[in-house]
Amino acid sequence: MTVHEAAHPPSPVPTRSGVVAHRGASAEFPELTLVAYQQALEQGAEALEVDVRLTADGVPVLLHDPRTSRVGDRDVWVHSSTLRQLSDLDVGSWHPVHRTPEPVLTLRSFLVMAEAYPHVKLFLETKHPVPTGGRVEVALRDELAYFGMDKPRDPASSRAVMMSFSVMAVRRFGQLAPTVPKLQLRERRNVLKSWPAEGFGAQMMGPCISTLRARPWLVEYWRSRGLGTYCWTVDDPADLLLCRDLGVDWVGTNTPARALDVLDGPGRSGDTGGTVGPGGRDGSAGAGGATGAGGAVGAQSAAGAGIDGPEAGVPVVN
C-alpha cells in the first residue's frame, strides 16, 4: 500500500489557515524592509517571515539572496561585507511599485519593531548553504535570547519559529534552543521524506504550493505523523482556498490583505481571538496533535526572482 492510500480519517480543522506575510507585504513593498513589515501589520498579517544571513562581522541581517544584485543598488556578497558596508545599500528603489530608497534591515531592528506586536508570530529562516555555516543559527539564538524569546516554556507558547531547508541547521538549532519550534522547509525533490526531519526535532513541514496542488494528501499524512504544515508561497485565491480546505496550518503570502479577504470570505468568520500559536492559531497544537509552527519563504516577490532552496555557486559550510 502506498502512503497516500493509507486510511487516515480527515481531521477537523477548527480555524482557517493563519496568514504569514512572506518577506512582509512584498507584492506592494520591497521585500525584507521595515516598510514591508509595517504595511503587512497594518493589513492584519498574523505572522511575519524573514530570511537571515550573517555579515562578515557576524551581524544577522535580513537578505534573501547571497548577493545583492537583485534588490540592491550595488552588487556585493553578503557574507564578505560588513554591516557598515551593507548599511550604504539601497534595497528599496528596485521595487516596481515602491521605487523609494530603503536600507538593509538587521534582525535586531526587526525584533525591536516586533516587540510592539506581541500577538504576531515570527518565522525566522536561516539561509544555507553559506560560508559562515552554523554561526547563523548561533546568532539567531543569541538575538532571540536578547529579547527573551529563546526559552519558551514549550513550543506552543513560542512566538518565534526557526526554519530552514537544511536538515542540519534544524538539528543544530534544536540543540541551541530546544523549546523553540522548528520547521523543515521542503523542495519538491525531497518533499516525501519527513525523516530525518522528525528525528531532528522539526514540528512542522513546509512544502511549496505546487507540491500541495500535486499531492494534497500530504497534509493529512504529515498530520497523522504529528507534524503541522506551512505552505509557501500562496498568492492565488484558488490556492489559498485549497490550503484552507486541506487544513494547512499556515500560508506564506506576498499579499496578506488579499489572503485575509479570501480566507475570511462568505461563510467564514476566521479566527477572532487568542494569540497566534504553533499549529493551532489559538496557541494550541495543530490538528492531529501536531505542534506545527511554520514560516516560509520561497517564491518570487513582486518583480524579484528570489528562488528558495540550496543556492548554487556559494561555498558550502553546512
| Confidence band for 12, pLDDT divided at 50, 70 and 90 | very low
Q: Looking at the annotation, which residues are catalytic? A: 22, 64
In a domain, 21, yes or no: no
Strand pairing of 250-253 and 18-22?
A: parallel
Q: Kindly report the backbone phi and psi dihedral angles of residue 48, in degrees, each rounded to the nearest multiple of 5, phi listed first.
A: -125, 140
User: Which pLDDT does position 200 carry in this prediction?
Assistant: 73
| Host H or E run for residue 144 | helix 135-146
Q: What is the mean pLDDT of the chain?
A: 83
Q: Which three cell numbers stand for residue 59?
A: 551581524
Q: Does 214 reside within a domain?
A: yes
Range of weakest confidence among 30-34, 38-42, 222-226, 314-318: 314-318
Q: Is residue 17 part of a domain?
A: no
Residue 69, in any domain of the structure: yes
What's the confidence (pLDDT) of residue 194?
A: 54
- Which residue, 299, 303, 290, is CA-closest to 249? 290
Q: How much is the pLDDT for 195? A: 55
pLDDT at 273 over 50: no
Q: Are 181 and 291 in contact (CB under 8 A)?
A: yes
Q: pLDDT tens, 154-204?
A: 998 999 999 999 999 999 999 999 999 999 998 765 555 555 566 678 999
Q: What is the pLDDT of residue 64?
A: 98
Domain ranges, residue 81: 28-289
C-alpha grid cell for residue 202?
522539526
* Chain segment 299-310, per-residue pLDDT in tens: 333 333 344 544
Does residue 308 fall inside a structural domain?
Answer: no
pLDDT (tens digit per residue) in 113-148: 999 999 999 999 999 999 999 999 999 999 999 999
Cα 60 to Cα 32: distance, rounded to the nearest angstrom: 13
The SS3 assignment for 155 reads: helix
How big is the chain by its Cα radius of gyration, in Å?
Answer: 18
**Residue spans of alpha helices (H) in 22-74:** 34-42
Report the alpha-carbon distance of residue 244 to residue 249 in Å, rounded. 8
| Between 9 and 75, residue with greater pLDDT | 75
The pTM of the full predicted model, rounded to 2 decimals, is 0.82
Q: How many domains does the chain have?
A: 1
What is the Cα–Cα distance from 248 to 295, expressed in whole angstroms?
Answer: 12
Domain with residue 264: its CATH number is: 3.20.20.190
Sign of CA dihedral 110, 115, 116, 119: positive
User: What backbone phi and psi angles, to 5 degrees, belong to 256?
Assistant: -60, -40
- Mean pLDDT, residues 62-86: 98
Task: Say which residue, 269 or 115, is predicted with more confidence.
Answer: 115
Q: Does 261 have pLDDT greater than 80?
A: yes
Q: Is residue 10 part of a domain?
A: no
Position 294 pLDDT exceeds 80: no
Element holding 135 (H helix, E strand): helix 135-146
